Structure 1
Amino acid sequence: MALLQAGPAAAPGGAADPALARGGGWRRWSRWKSALFPYALNAPAVLALLALVAYPVGLSFWISLHKMNLRRPKSFPFIGLDNYANALASPEFRAALSVTLKFTGLAVALIVGLGLCLALLLNSEVKGRGILRALVLVPWAIPPIVNATLWQLIFDSHVGAFNGLLLQFGLIESYKAWLVDPAIALVVIVLAHAWNHVPMATIILLAALQAIPRDLYEAALIDRTPRARVLWRITLPWLWRPILVVVILQTMGALRAFDLFYVLTGGGPGNSTTTLAWLTYQTSFVYLDLGMGSAYSYVIMGLTLFMALVYYRGLYKRGDVA
């Protein structure tokens, strides 16, 4: 009986059995291996992000704290936040900020409005709805630089299709250079930007429309509720959160828009289309002031984050559907 109740045999000198010790060590190693395996799989991606994203971002912030101009490459004094103070105090920054906010407001309003109208149309029972849903994606598939080139050809002062159309209808007497008119150049860029980004807004809002319970519309139909009231009382409350997503994404994109300004106007005429993104490019690669240019880029990042937080705090609660 005593032999039956005895535990595992101990090694000479009272030590545990080496085989059992090796078995325990192997189990501990297996547990560690299972725990570390996901990190090992993600390590290449993390290293790539650190090399391609974290390092350049950190380096650009470090440069923004110095006075760095490639015309004097050996001079690299540390000046702290002076670049940010000088940027915020400069009249060029205030003018560029005004143009940026104007462009962002017009572009986002147009994209959300057109995207909502197209989503409502594509969600209704219309003939050829499948073809229309496919066609609406075409502008989104065009790269931004190609989109800018197309709009440049449309508004060309010599062979532009827009001039030709107005001339045929007798609305103008001769071809006009629309892109050198300060009052029209920004509007043209807004139209080009919206044409390229409306499809994404349409797809997001269309997916949200299809998620609305059909019982609500059937009840409204039985009660003979006017369509305008159905839109205001049923559709829009369910779309607040998707609209918020569209507004945030489009605001971030509009604040950083660069391709259209580069191809269509180059920041002109004068400074009428000089945005913060264009000012950053000009400061960094034309005037070669990398310190101030890096500061401008972080100002854009801060402005984008601030706008996103404002939208989130202001509209998130309104997205709740009672």
Structure 2
Amino acid sequence: MTLPAIIDALQCGTFDREVLKMLRDGGYRCVTPTLGFWEGTLESLDSLARWRDMERENAELIRIVRRADDIRACIADGKLGILLGYQNTNLLEDRIRYVELFADLGVRVLQLTYNNQNELGGSCYEKEDSGLTRFGREVVEEMARCGILADCSHTGDRTALDTIEHSPGPIAITHANPASIFPHARNRSDRVIKALAERGGVIGCAAYRNITPDWACATARGFADLIARTVDIAGVDHVGVGTDFSYKGDDAFRAWMRMGRWSRQLNYGAGSASAPGAVSKPDWLPSADRLSDLVPALGEVGFSEPEIAKIMGGNWLRLYEEVFG
């Protein structure tokens, strides 16, 4: 079958020309890099500025995308679309008006919380999930108005359900798996996934070993089975890919990602004391350009060619168009 356009809803790490070229040549037509985890406004603006520099320096490879039609342009001319997003809302620094400002600068995805409770809501790692706060409700409304996709990949389930109910439009879980398949605080309950789908949202199945079953890390066919089981929960129109693939991360990067500036204690993120450091990539996905191997595997588990096109990118494109045009 013809390779469909690949859209990956979440990656992180250090992106350079080597990575960008590998993704473009591997069939990716849009990827969301992580521009920040704990950074405030000024640092977040620095990250945006660096990506604008990268776009100028690699104009033949990439374009920063702001609309669904920009992604379609990448599909037509073979460039890699860069959809700008952050894994937290620290960049707002409690200012509702900053939502619109960052939207005007091209930000299209914001994860409401990262690994801690914040001003918007509860994290998956808190003992008690507060749900969406008053400020959180205003931010979610403002994000919908300004065309920014709300992401609940790291929130607690109550905050995710509140966001799904309160948001004027569909939201996303860009990189997680069903907790009913792999129990982990970072994964989402069937109740959340079904509510997400009922409102038109999409969940991106993650290939991060700490939150993914061993059998889904072993082979592309196994990961296709994970997707098929997620489709059984959400429906084929509401499942995509959000690999959570990371590039060139070292111990300092992992320490920042897991602890930021908020802790003196050792924190493992989605890992544990028994798996404290970097985890190996899935056996079938040693480099991100091998994601195209998932296409025939999806066919082997029973998906049709149009359904495969939806899972590999079409569902994200539909959601993006609904949220930001």
Fold shared per TM-score above 0.5: no
TM-score, normalised to structure 1, is 0.22
